[in-house]
Amino acid sequence: MHQPYVLIHQARPSHQILLHQACNALGVFDVRITHDLVDLNACLARKRGADLLILDHAMKGGQALLERLERNRCSRALLFVGCASKHRPNLAEQARERGLWVLADLPWPLPVRRWQQALQRIQTVTSPTHAH
């Protein structure tokens, strides 16, 4: 069975670990944590694009990243965690406006049921019987 390739880009190490473990708990093991935007860009430039890119609303450089994702389509789906605020742009909304597929937009702490649904959906979409 094809495993979705998941990239996690989070500023907080505790959130990195939590998200990685949450992926593993649902049987998603092809997971990579990026340490900074340089690392993230290198991962996105690889031949195999990410099936799912998990981002935080509070990330620095979010709007520039969305521009790159729109231009290059190097990730199949996006999942946002955290909350937008009046001090931070709503990256999930901006991604949708750019025509990017936002699989989910989840607050902290992660709502387990919605997390499971999102991961199951990306697993279904990337399965060989579904992929085109």
**What CATH number has the domain bearing residue 70?**
3.40.50.2300
Mean pLDDT of 79-98: 92
Residue 131 clears pLDDT 70, i.e. is over it = no
117: Cβ–Cβ under 8 A, 6 or more apart, which residues?
104
Q: What are phi and psi of 36, to 5 degrees?
A: -160, 180
**39 within domain boundaries:** yes
Answer whether residue 89 is part of any domain: yes
Q: What is the reported pLDDT for 116?
A: 96
Average pLDDT rounded to a whole number, residues 18-44? 95
Q: Domain total for the chain?
A: 1
The parent domain of residue 49 ranges over 6-126
Establish if 132 belongs to a structural domain: no
Residue 80 lies in a domain: yes
Residues 19-43: what's their mean pLDDT?
95
Question: What is the dihedral sign for C-alpha 22, 27, 28, 32?
Answer: positive
Please report whether residue 131 resides in a domain.
no
Instruction: Identify the band that residue 1 occupies on the pLDDT scale cut at 50, 70 and 90.
Output: low
Cα separation, 116 vs 113, in Å, equals 5
**Domain for residue 114, yes or no?**
yes
Q: What is the pLDDT of residues 54-77, one digit of tens each?
A: 999 989 899 999 999 999 988 899
Q: What is the pTM of this model?
A: 0.93
Report yes or no on 1 lying in a domain. no
